[in-house]
């Protein structure tokens, strides 16, 4: 019999949940920020300085994402299963710009740092699905102006998306789970405090190793997401919270 539950669950995910699908994290030893300078490719200033370098960086990652062997893993599917069992009670807020949560079955999902498979025109604001390369000559399909297209992702110094909706969910949740994130980047790294102080939520960290905010969590389980997340979801569904 499914366990009792006492209200909403907010689940924050980071790059660690997609690592076992074959996508790099950012701050692990072999992470993206050990290979490129984030100031050059993930800031508005870097884009102004050298837009083609930024396009090349995202074009490479966009092509990677679409390779057949980059698939949702057992952790993504476990979160999809949790939402299917407890519809309306589960919100996934991901920092990831891949589309693996969608493939794993999550529908109540916020991409707070945007989506790699979408592009935005800085001239007219149009946002649309985008699977091809972008370069400095690419014209906007909506306004036809060339040179203003960019990945629909949030760079350092820019405001993440849907912060109102996220704060609202955190203020009403009874369970906050953080998965695969190092807790280095705000505002996401502050969500655990919001869940504690505005909702007195139970807080859980599921990660490969203790994050920057590890001591704030009431419960921690460390190990690879594809092992730890399905096991935690099974326990939630069996015992409730
Ligand atoms: N299973 C679970 N956790 C893992 C795994 C795994 N297989 N592999 C790595 N991790 C953990 C690491 O221990 C680390 O704590 O995932 C975390 C990844 O941390 P980061 O690389 O900092 O990624 P993230 O927290 O998502 O970064 C947040 O920073 O650069 C920006 O916009 C970027 O969204 C990103 C944000």
Q: What is the C-alpha separation between 80 and 75, in angstroms, rounded?
A: 9
Distance 202 CA to ligand 1 centre (A): 22
pLDDT for 1? 45
Say if ligand 1 is within 6 A of residue 76 CB.
no
Per residue in 123-149, pLDDT (tens digit) is 999 999 999 999 999 999 999 999 999
pLDDT for 241? 83
Pocket test for ligand 1, best of 12, 13, 15, 210 (most atoms within 8 A of CB): 15
Mean pLDDT of 107-128: 98
Say if ligand 1 is within 6 A of residue 181 CB.
yes
Would you state the structure tokens that stand for residue 205, as one six-digit string? 């960290």
Say if ligand 1 is within 6 A of residue 184 CB.
yes
Per residue in 137-186, pLDDT (tens digit) is 999 999 999 999 999 999 999 999 999 999 999 999 999 999 999 999 99
Cβ contact 107:83 at 8 Å: yes
Q: What is the C-alpha separation between 135 and 137, in angstroms, rounded?
A: 5
pTM above 0.95, yes or no: yes
Catalytic residues: 113
């Amino acid at each position: 019999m499914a366990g009792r539950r006492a209200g909403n669950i907010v689940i924050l995910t980071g790059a660690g949940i997609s690592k076992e699908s074959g996508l790099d994290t950012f701050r692990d030893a072999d992470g993206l920020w050990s290979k490129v300078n984030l100031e050059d490719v993930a800031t508005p200033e870097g884009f102004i300085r050298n837009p083609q370098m930024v396009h090349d960086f995202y074009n490479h990652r966009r092509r990677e994402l679409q390779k057949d062997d980059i698939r949702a893993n057992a952790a993504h599917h476990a979160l999809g299963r949790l939402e299917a069992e407890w519809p309306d009670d589960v919100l996934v807020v991901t920092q990831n710009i891949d589309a693996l949560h969608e493939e794993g079955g999550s529908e109540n999902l916020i991409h707070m740092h945007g989506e790699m498979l979408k592009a935005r025109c800085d001239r007219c604001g149009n946002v649309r699905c985008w699977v091809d390369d972008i370069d400095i000559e690419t014209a906007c399909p909506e306004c036809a102006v060339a040179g203003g297209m960019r990945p629909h992702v949030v760079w350092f110094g820019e405001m993440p998306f849907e912060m109102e909706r996220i704060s609202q969910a955190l203020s009403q949740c009874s369970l906050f789970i953080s998965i695969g994130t190092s807790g280095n980047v705000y505002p996401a790294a502050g969500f655990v405090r919001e869940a504690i102080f505005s909702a007195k939520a139970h807080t859980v960290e599921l990660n490969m190793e203790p994050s920057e905010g590890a001591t704030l969590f009431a419960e921690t389980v460390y190990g690879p997401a594809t092992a730890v997340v399905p096991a935690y979801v099974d326990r939630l569904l069996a015992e409730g919270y």
